[in-house]
Amino acid sequence: GGSRSLRGRSQTLRVCMDMDYLDQDAPALRKDIEAFERETGLRVEMQPSSANEAQRAGANVRERITKGQLQRGELDVVLIDGIYAWEFEPLIRPLDVAALPEELLAAIPRRALERFQMQDGRQVALPMWDSYGMLYYRQDLLELYNLTDPGPDGWTWEAVEAFALEARRRQLEEHQGRGNERFDFDGFVWPGTESESLTAFALEVIAGEGGGSIVSPSGEVTLANDSAVSAALQRMTTWVGPGCESGKVVSPARVLTMGEEDVEQRFCIEGRAVFARGSPSMAPACDNAGMAGLYSIARLPGAKVGGGRGVLGTSGLAIARRSPHPKEAQMFIEMALSARWQSLVTRRGHMPVRTELVGNPDACAVPHPSSCRVRLKDLVPGVRLRVPGQGDDDEVSVIVRNSSGRCPNVSRLATVCDVSPIGYLIEPPSVFAQASYDEMSSVFFKTVHKILHLGREPEEIRRDLERAACAIVRE
């Protein structure tokens, strides 16, 4: 074996990807890694990417950090975002497609493979998992206020707007009996800061209005001549309002400073929003914050029932160009794409790419939430929490571990498989824009943010979009 050919080279295979589910759920996968180490003579080192520390700075910064790691020769196997595949190409060693097992290639949809193919056909990565926008909502509040469930086709935006306002109104009524406590509850939170996340969400709202993308498959910039773009952005401007104590605001003004992690904090950790646009990775965050059983997941709304769409994002595993172990790195990627490994990625908030698992709810790994929320007065009878300047608060809840025996049984847990990808997903513009996508997206999300921040009127929106289209063409 491989151990006889490693003299003079690093004895470690450095893998940079989100694999924390190995520690929690899958001892069998640990055995796979141990068998891999015996066969190759390499020790697998699962590295938490330094990019994880910069998540709040946005996807663009995360990719720059990963590029730095590759340039310094610090990685052998790396997870890359499909929208940046063309930018990573100089730092990546193309895969030896001829050496890949036929079973593996047959199990991955051709369209997924093509997201990591260069124009000359080189395969720079294999798709590992998908992600797309979903609507998270407080199931407990909908039941409390007798609001209608979305069903498999989801709500319309009008219904979500009405439910958000109604939930805020009811919360405000409850709040008014609590003395001087500041009203702090949102209807709908979403990633509105200037970032790639805003590009994705705006495109989802546009698609829900029946519109297209920033650029057509033929390469034509379509922003200024698509009426659905203006309609979608006009809808979004109506959501954003001042964070005053009013029941008439769908989204707070601060939503324009929120990234995906801020949305997660507001919905999952603080529990102070009834709706949130999130990705699949938000589900385990909610479960671990004691929200299991209190929330559900649906497809994003559209102008019509069933018209909502999610922008597809795909992450793939690639071999670093400077890796001294390209053969072993490819072997590791093959292992990570096996049916056994893929069947567990849903538990950590990822969508598998293998054909037999896509859209199959029976293949979805049921999460094991580690905590729940319990009212403090139920844990300690008679206790009263006094908040300085606000008086007593009897409704404070605390997060307790399942192992405490105090968590109620939950009849049904939300999973990322509750949203079927079939007929729901749209390709990101990067598929058509390729190397020019980064600049294109930057122009787009800055334009959208300006429109929302200034509360533009329809005619002003059209002018802003025309200027953005011209800037993209110049790029």
Q: Are residues 202 and 285 in the same domain?
A: yes
Cα distances (angstroms) measured from residue 18 to each of 65, 160, 220:
15, 33, 36
Last residue within a domain, chosen from 326, 345, 363:
363
Write the Ramachandran bin of 56: left for phi over 0, alpha for psi from -120 to 50, otherwise beta.
Answer: alpha
Residue ranges of the chain with pLDDT lower than 70? Answer: 1-9, 18-26, 48-62, 177-181, 242-247, 365-370, 375-380, 382-396, 402-406, 408-411, 475
Q: Are residues 432 and 380 in the same domain?
A: yes
pLDDT reported for residue 218: 80
pLDDT reported for residue 56: 41
pLDDT reported for residue 447: 97
Q: Are residues 469 and 347 in the same domain?
A: no
Query: Count of alpha carbons within 13 Å of 452, Cβ hemisphere only?
Result: 29
| CA nearest to 278, candidates 295, 290, 261 | 261
Q: What is the pTM of this model?
A: 0.88
Q: Are residues 142 and 39 in the same domain?
A: no
Contact 275, 137 (CB under 8 A): yes
Contact 389, 180 (CB under 8 A): yes
pLDDT reported for residue 406: 67
Residue 455 lies in a domain: yes
Q: Are residues 270 and 320 in the same domain?
A: no
Q: Are residues 32 and 90 in the same domain?
A: yes
CATH number of the CATH domain containing 258 = 3.40.190.10
**202 φ, ψ (degrees, to nearest 5):** -60, -40
Residue 234 lies in a domain: yes
Burial of 210 (0-12, 13-18, 19+ CB in 10 A): middle
Give SS3 for 344.
coil
Who's near 378: CB < 8 A, 6+ residues apart? none
Residue 167, token pair as written in the block: 């939930």
Q: Are residues 354 and 462 in the same domain?
A: no
Residue 301, token pair as written in the block: 């709304």
Residue 190 lies in a domain: yes
Residue 368 lies in a domain: no
Last residue within a domain, chosen from 323, 339, 363:
363
Last residue within a domain, chosen from 363, 390, 405:
363
pLDDT reported for residue 474: 77
Burial of 80 (0-12, 13-18, 19+ CB in 10 A): buried
Residue 19, token pair as written in the block: 């694999």
Element containing residue 351 per DSSP (H, E): strand 351-352
Q: Are residues 180 and 295 in the same domain?
A: yes
Residue 246 lies in a domain: yes
Q: Are residues 454 and 421 in the same domain?
A: yes
Sequential DSSP letters for 309-338: -EE-EEEEEEEETT-S-HHHHHHHHHHHTS
Quote the number of domains for the chain: 2
Contact 2, 39 (CB under 8 A): yes
Q: Are residues 304 and 409 in the same domain?
A: yes
Q: Are residues 388 and 359 in the same domain?
A: no
Residue 431 lies in a domain: yes
Instruction: Give the domain extent around 190.
Output: 134-311+373-474
pLDDT reported for residue 390: 45
Name the residue with tokens 């809808």: 235
Residue 141 lies in a domain: yes
| CA nearest to 126, candidates 117, 136, 138 | 117
Q: Are residues 252 and 318 in the same domain?
A: no
Residue 263 lies in a domain: yes
86-96 per-position pLDDT tens digit: 889 999 999 99
Count of Cβ atoms closer than 10 Å to residue 169 Cβ: 15
